[in-house]
Amino acid sequence: MAIRFSASQSVEIGIFDEIIPIKLYLRKPERLVNALIDPARVQKINQETYRFQILPLGFLNQTIQPRVDIKIWAESNGTIRLKSLSCKLSGLEYISQRFNFKLEGYLSPKKVNNVTFLEGKADLQVEVELPAPLLFTPRPLLEAAGNNLLKGVLGTMKKRLLNHLLADYHKWAKSYMDNSGLKENTEITA
């Protein structure tokens, strides 16, 4: 029996731009990667692809540890997009072979007066063929547990984004200014 779990998470962050607009910061997707996931658990595969080792997750007395390859790229308008390419589960070979993982999301800057808002959304969907021991578990219980697990994963990503993105942006802008020798009254356009 196959079952599908899904979750969505939206985010809106208000930012007072430094002299260097956040739109320029967002052209560096690697910085967003490090804001979303602990850098110790990220491996860069190529210019736009990263491998994330997610911490072990508990699901109905089973422990799963996903390893996800994600493509992350910046568009010219400053929007960052992400899309999962593949996912492998450590430890549960039966489930890993019958497991489909789909993650898509974006983070986009919108300017309102002097404030830039980052608006984003992530959609996560997992489809899995259940192993024999779970076939007798009531479907509503499985769906609730799976959906809650995915909501937790997206909630953790949102929390890291909120806690790390702004601090990293301000640190990056200051470093950019210090390294380029620009004066504070210099206008930089994106």
Q: Where are the beta strands (DSSP E) in the chain?
A: 2-16, 42-44, 49-53, 57-59, 62-74, 80-90, 99-112, 115-129
Q: Which two tokens stand for residue 90?
A: 């450590």
Residue type, 164: H
Q: Is the pLDDT of residue 96 over 70?
A: no
Share of the chain above pLDDT 90, in %: 23
The whole-angstrom separation of Cα 149 and Cα 72 is: 23
Phi, psi (rounded to 5 degrees) for 90: -85, 135
Q: Is the pLDDT of residue 72 over 90?
A: yes
Q: What is the pLDDT confidence band of residue 59, given thresholds at 50, 70 and 90?
A: low
Q: Answer whether 11's CB lies under 8 Å from 118's CB.
A: yes
Residue 45, SS3?
Answer: coil
Nearest residue to 101 (alpha-carbon basis) of 118, 73, 124, 131? 124
**DSSP label of 190:** -
Check residue 187 and give its pLDDT: 45
Q: Is the pLDDT of residue 133 over 70?
A: no
Check residue 186 and give its pLDDT: 44
Over the stretch 21-33, which tens digit does the pLDDT of each residue have?
888 888 888 888 8
Q: Which two tokens stand for residue 124?
A: 């996560």
Check residue 120 and give its pLDDT: 94
Check residue 189 and give its pLDDT: 46
Q: What is the pLDDT confidence band of residue 93, given thresholds at 50, 70 and 90?
A: low
Q: Is the pLDDT of residue 74 over 70?
A: yes
The whole-angstrom separation of Cα 118 and Cα 158 is: 12
Nearest residue to 95 (alpha-carbon basis) of 53, 123, 57? 57
Mean pLDDT, residues 138-145 taken together: 85
Check residue 95 and give its pLDDT: 67
Structural domains in the chain, CATH included, are 2-177 (3.30.530.20)
Mean pLDDT, residues 39-49 taken together: 89
Mean pLDDT, residues 113-138 taken together: 83
Beta-carbon contacts of residue 92 (< 8 Å; ≥ 6 apart): 62, 64
Q: How does the average pLDDT of the chain come out, rounded?
A: 82
